[in-house]
Structure 1
Amino acid sequence: MANVASLPIMLKSLRLACINTHWQSVAKKAVAESWMPEQYLAELCAMELSTRDDKRLQRHLKESDLPPGKTLSCFQFDAVTGVNTQQINALATETQWTVRGENVLIFGASGLGKTHLASSLGYSLIEAGIRVKFISATSLVQELQLAKQRYSLADALGKLDKYAVLILDDLGYVKKTDQETSVLFELIAHRYERGSLIITSNQAFSDWDHLFDDSVMTVAAIDRLVHHATIFTLEGESYRRKTSLKRKQQDQHQ
């Protein structure tokens, strides 16, 4: 029979930190309320799982690099057309599209909330237990270009595979060079039907010829992205412009 005095050591060895912290206080409650042994065990296991879920959520939020505060609850759906709450909620709750490697493409002029919308979807997916990474398209392309120069592009692409969803923000600002064009296409091809992309862009598909070196590569990239994709085209007045005008009006009345 195991010695109870060694229980903390055994729990530590099993990496059951939450149970190790609370087993004594829960035991007192169990005795006071005449719990069955299995009820006591279930309570401890539930506490351990809840703590691990909370830690996992915080870890995934930290690694995602999502912009703070850009959640679904504060997106102004009434300020734009081309998307509604029901469509985004469906993507946030019916998450099998991430398992199938499907994409979400968000187009629109500057200031319409493309980044906010993509980020809010990212937050919702993380809460559903899905790993997400947010990064500007320009920054990622530069990182992949450097990896290619070091002959480690395959490794760099492989490391991104741990994220079920990769959010590429402002794809339209990627500069057209041979190196960047190549790695951008390789990223799209690598994740095709394997990992989901959420892409924001102020450039419509018809303007993507400035992103790739030739029309064949442009068509091939677009074809892979849209094959399994939900596409939103936002229209409306720039939120930043409206905020600036409102601030000026308030200053004038002061």
Structure 2
Amino acid sequence: MPLPLAAEEEYFTWVDAEGRIHNTLKSSQTPRQEQVSTSPNISAKNEFLDEEQLASKLAEEQKNKPPFYIWIDSSGQRHTEFVTPETASAVSETSAVEEEFFDHSLIPPMRLPQHIYDGPCCGQYLKAFADSIPENKSVLFSRPGTNTLFRTVKGEAPAWFFKVRRSPTNHILSVILRGDHSGPALLALDKHAKPLHLIPALSGVINAETWASVENRESRIEVADPDVTHFILYFPNGAAADASAEIEWLPVSR
């Protein structure tokens, strides 16, 4: 007759606060509450935080370990800066403003050489300049060269002559060219029609034809030279008969 099997001892497995696994013998005489309370590394204290305590703890951690960002300047040097409430607010305000992009920039250090400025160009064209274009206004020019041609080393070139109303801030000259893709040149002058900057060929973004507009090329020029007031937009290689340009004078938003 087989002997009766002894009852197998039962264990329960638990993990303490430090991640160690324990196997504890179950005992009918020892209530589970007592086993848990007498087990090492287990605290009966309530570790849950209410909303106010959690916010206070997060604020303390942020104070001791503030967030930071890493950036690299134009010379390749790496910078690390901590984010304070003041800088976070400034970054937020800056990001809300659309960043400006330019195809060309006219700045004082990049002016033409002095001997060109002192040369014979271009005082004889002062009467050819159209009325000043005010801020946030656009003017349409068409049929270049029907009135005054601009003399270059290659001969006389079709051109548009216009001036702008200046204020102390930097500005954007927007040129939307239609009907011609030869890449006109832009000469920027002061109020005496003395040449300050030359862009031999305007670059820009090609906008495809839509139901509302024909194909065009838009060039955005940052005018950071405060002495620039007059412009000559000319075509060294000739211009199409139906060429036109929409010129707009805008203050820089930043």
- Shorter-chain TM-score: which interval? under 0.3
Instruction: Kindly indicate which of the two structures has a greater share of residues assigned to helix.
Output: 1
Q: TM-score, normalised by structure 1?
A: 0.28
Q: TM-score, normalised by structure 2?
A: 0.28
Q: Which has the larger radius of gyration?
A: 2
The structure showing larger relative contact order (alpha-carbon pairs under 8 Å, at least 6 residues apart) is 1
Instruction: Kindly indicate which of the two structures has a greater share of residues assigned to strand.
Output: 2
